[in-house]
Amino acid sequence: MATPDDARETPYARAIPRPTAGPLVAAFGVAMLFAGIVTNVGASVVGAVALVFGGVIWFREVMPDEAVEPIEATGGQTVVTPPPLPARDAPSRRLLLPVEIHPYRAGLVGGLAGGAAMAVVAAAWGLVEHGSVWLPINLLAGAVNPGMAAMGEPELAAFDGGWIAIAVGIHAALSIMTGLLFTVALPMMPRRPMLFGVVVAPVILSSLSWSTMGIVNPAMEEFISWPWFVGSQIAFGAVCGAVISRVEKVPTMAALSTSERLGIEQSEVGS
């Protein structure tokens, strides 16, 4: 069967191997050979005989040439023409990335606006429950001053310029960062931005805060009122989401090829 030309051909290109009992008999022999160790020597003897017998059958199948039988064509039915398919309703979706996002500027503005709304709610809480607008501000500053946990309520409710500066800094930074996160996350829920702003984000942020508050800010943990806290998160989400989703989207370069991104090729998108 093997000529120098055929040697390079894929095995079984024109024939398939012939069935043989050799492997079955040989495998039975191996199993019995070992089974003899735990049963009795007779089994091993039977196994050895079967192994040799099966081996000889097997050897004669492959030597000097492999025994094969011809392929019986099944009437050209084997390789199909494709089944009728419903027309594809969209261009093929090999890659799906948000091709338009809100500009980061929107996140900056939205974050600050949301932060302001949040501050209003927090101040209201201070006034209504503790009679001081300074309390929530001082508590926020407690994130950098662990000693604050030991202070009493009168001290915490008093005005202190330094603490206000720190609190405003923390609050602005966190608000801007969250606003930027919003710009990235909102395009993934293109149809209902407010759902994300009012429900999803507040739930995620509140539960994050709830689980870490004791470590991050023990002072606040002591005073915090969770309903008000969640309310302030919702205020943030609603305002921030509303601001961001109003800003016009800009296209990303994600849909462009590498050469287009490098400016080697010009394309419509982004110009």
Rounded Cα distance between 205 and 181, Å, is 12
Rounded Cα distance between 244 and 116, Å, is 15
Shortest Å distance, C-beta 54 to another protein: 9
**Does 258 contact another protein by CB under 8 A?**
no
Nearest to 169 by CA among 241, 100, 115: 115
Alpha carbon of residue 204 to chain centroid: 16
- Toward another protein, which CB reaches closer, 78 or 271? 78
Question: Which residue in 13, 215, 262, 264 binds another protein (CB under 8 A)?
Answer: 13
Rounded Cα distance between 89 and 203, Å, is 37
Shortest Å distance, C-beta 97 to another protein: 9
Residues of span 50-109 touching another protein by CB under 8 A: 58, 61-62, 64-65, 67-74, 76-83, 85, 92-94, 96
SS (H, E, C) 15-29: EEECCCCHHHHHHHH
- Toward another protein, which CB reaches closer, 44 or 145? 44
- Toward another protein, which CB reaches closer, 36 or 218? 36
- Toward another protein, which CB reaches closer, 17 or 146? 17
Per CB under 8 A, the segment of 37-45, 132-140, 153-161, 193-201 that binds another protein is 37-45
Reading the block at residue 160, the tokens are 């202190």
Q: Site for another protein (CB under 8 A): how many residues?
A: 58
**Does 265 contact another protein by CB under 8 A?**
no
- Toward another protein, which CB reaches closer, 60 or 246? 60
Give the three-class secondary structure for 251. Answer: strand
- Toward another protein, which CB reaches closer, 23 or 214? 23
Concatenated DSSP letters of 86-136: PPPSSS--S----SEE--HHHHHHHHHHHHHHHHHHHHHHIIIIIS-SHHH
CA atoms within 13 A of residue 100's CA, in its CB half-sphere: 8
- Toward another protein, which CB reaches closer, 40 or 225? 40
**Opening angle at CA 136, ends 166 and 238, nearest 5:** 95
**Does 15 contact another protein by CB under 8 A?**
yes
Any bridge partners for residue 70, and if so which? 15
Per CB under 8 A, the segment of 23-31, 111-119, 222-230, 251-259 that binds another protein is 23-31
Residues lying near another protein in the complex (CB under 8 A) are found at: 1-3, 5-6, 8-24, 26-28, 30-31, 34-35, 37-39, 58, 61-62, 64-65, 67-74, 76-83, 85, 92-94, 96
